Amino acid sequence: MATPIAPRRGAGATGRRWLVLLPPLLLAVLLPRPAAALVEGLYCGTRDCYEVLGVSRTAGKAEIARAYRQLARRYHPDRYRPEPGDEGPGRTPQSAEEAFLLVATAYETLKDEETRKDYDYMLDHPEEYYSHYYHYYSRRLAPKVDVRVVILVSVCAISVFQFFSWWNSYNKAISYLATVPKYRIQAMEIAKQQGLLRKAKEKGRNKKSKEEIRDEEENIIKNIIKSKIDIKGGYQKPQFRDLLLFQILLAPFHLCSYIVWYCRWIYNFNIKGKEYGEEERLYIIRKSMKMSKSQFDSLEDHQKETFLKRELWIKENYEVYKQEQEEELKKRLANDPRWKRYRRWMKNEGPGRLTFVDD
């Protein structure tokens, strides 16, 4: 009776040992296995770049370059001539080309300090498989030109284009104002008072033609208009601070100024309950009208005075003013002959109606 009991105890002990060893075995199976140091598709593939060039890991740049030149001359497809007994990797023209490409890849890997550092790290830490892939392709796909330089050149080019475009618009506005009788007469009166037109007509040693005198007088009138008139909006005189480059450089300053201004606004008008000044009232009116600062500044002074008299910074007053403007616009359109013709055409021959004209 005692003999059959012994094997049962042995089987139970063996089973318990397997239960103890099972978690480590499962953990070993589930954990990723360490990758090999040389991976196909990375750098020199399954070949060691140092062995390809025939140098050690402690070789300097000069030694690596010298080994590359020797092997490149030997395996270059245009110069390769197989020698008797040559059993190297380039014993045929096709294999010589493959050997040349491998040598070039090894040299490209080892000549750059950063790439060589990544390659040495891969040889020393083969288990970090995905990290090696990331470093390899991040360096291969990285742009050759610094992105910061590209952004800087683009911003400068846009700023130059802005400046010349705005200056061209400003000159067009001055040329147009020089043809308007109101401004031209005033400019000519100022030029006569200052004696500029008389100087233009004076004959010196170099006799001027009528066209030259006329062009000079035109330039005098335009210069007077430039100095006397204040053009605002899209045709105003270009300023360097309005260019994109300077706006980017001054962005931190503008941001800080806006934060300080906003905090003062909240403190003075929301917390302390102060009354709005003229500047604050015009600001609220401009925001209600959804106009930019340049658009609002281009309005006439009497229009702004009307806004202040009607107290349009108050929301209810602005809504009444807006309704009045809409009604006035409808009346103007109703009395406009062109608008009447358009409505008549839409009613009789507009979209949704087919007509046949027999010529």
What domains can be seen in the chain, in order of their start residue?
49-141 (1.10.287.110), 148-199+211-238 (no CATH), 275-346 (no CATH)
Of 55, 87, 86, which is closest to residue 70 (Cα–Cα)? 55
54: left (phi over 0), alpha (psi -120 to 50) or beta: left
Q: Which pLDDT value is given to residue 94?
A: 66
C-beta neighbour count of 61 within 10 angstroms: 12
List the chain residues with pLDDT less than 50: 1-11, 18, 20-22, 24-35, 89-90, 205, 353-357, 359
Full-prediction pTM beyond 0.75?
Answer: no
Distant-in-sequence contacts of 125-131, Cβ < 8 A, 24+ apart:
126/34, 126/35, 126/36, 126/37, 127/34, 127/35, 128/35, 129/32, 129/35, 129/39
Residue 323: other Cβ atoms inside 10 A:
10
Provide the pLDDT for residue 25. 42
Per-residue model confidence (pLDDT) at position 82: 60
How far is 287 from 293, CA to CA, in rounded Å? Answer: 9
As given in the structure block, the two tokens for residue 70 are 């020797």
- CA neighbor of 106 nearest in space, from 68, 140, 144, 73: 68
Give the integer Cα–Cα distance in Å for 286 and 279: 11
